[in-house]
Structure 1
């Protein structure tokens, strides 16, 4: 039986219930999109959202309170398992953790190898989000493409300074410290390690 197809509008604010999560791509949504009936939320709140729910840190749409922000904001890379599970409760992050990655991005990542990717990740994050004022802030990281680090940044909320502020408590308007950059790069590398089949390539 041919798989049922759904017409999808670009950039849903609320993803319709009839569209399965596994059919959502990064191009269909934004950081503010939600699919609360599937327990996939958005914790990026405006002042209006905070007033609506009476506090920060809950889903802007339904008020779900799922993240231990105090624990999240410790930025303890040894607690990455918890942090990644928390990130996956937000729709945009969940999609990047589960979406099919451009095969060319995988191929390029395998050719570069882990050491070169670590060097490249540090360079790209420094350029895109490392400064006090970053060019095209909020849109400096492409949604998809041939760069695996792009996927990793969105999945780990290191894609722009606003996402870094509410997920990692990294204040915008100031340059990243070396420690903060180390932390962000390590998040990116751990995502890449989970999504890119380095071991399979080595065993060929």
Structure 2
């Protein structure tokens, strides 16, 4: 049993969070780039857009589309510092440490794996 199961159970109960899905274009992008590259993109986005104590445009810094990681961030409530605090209990106003950033990338990765391998 994954330690993320309780989180994903809660996310599934959210009408907003549960509506996000990868489209054919995003799925193909994931297949073309591979998990390691997508994880690196996620790590870069987290480091630049979420890790600062007070990110620029917080609450609006993650687009709703354009990259599989962006969609995953909205689906997993890792899109802004407010969502990180509400859903993941990571406080606002402090720089994210390496462990927190790795956790966020892990959450994003887990959601992407679920999307790429649907359990029909």
State the TM-score, normalized to the length of structure 1: 0.55
**Aligned counterparts of 2:43 and 2:96: Cα–Cα separation in 1:** 12
Work out whether 1:92 is the aligned partner of 2:13. Answer: no
Q: 1:171 aligns with which of 86, 91, 94?
A: 91
**Aligned counterparts of 1:126 and 1:112: Cα–Cα separation in 2:** 20
Partner of 1:83: 7
Higher helix share: 2
**Aligned counterparts of 1:135 and 1:91: Cα–Cα separation in 2:** 27
Q: 1:193 aligns with which of 113, 117, 120?
A: 113
Higher CA-based Rg: 1
Q: 1:110 aligns with which of 31, 36, 45?
A: 31
Partner of 2:56: 135
Task: Provide the secondary structure at the position in 1 that maps to 2:56.
Answer: coil
Higher-RCO chain (CA-CA 8 Å, sequence separation at least 6): 2
- Tell me how far 1:87 sits from its aligned partner: 1.1
State the TM-score, normalized to the length of structure 2: 0.90
Structural RMSD (CA)? 1.5
Higher strand share: 1
Question: What residue ranges of structure 1 are gaps of 5+ in the alignment?
Answer: 1-77, 198-204
Alignment size in residue pairs: 117
Work out whether 1:150 is the aligned partner of 2:74. Answer: no
Partner of 1:123: 44
**Aligned counterparts of 1:158 and 1:144: Cα–Cα separation in 2:** 14
Task: Provide the secondary structure at the position in 2 that maps to 1:182.
Answer: helix
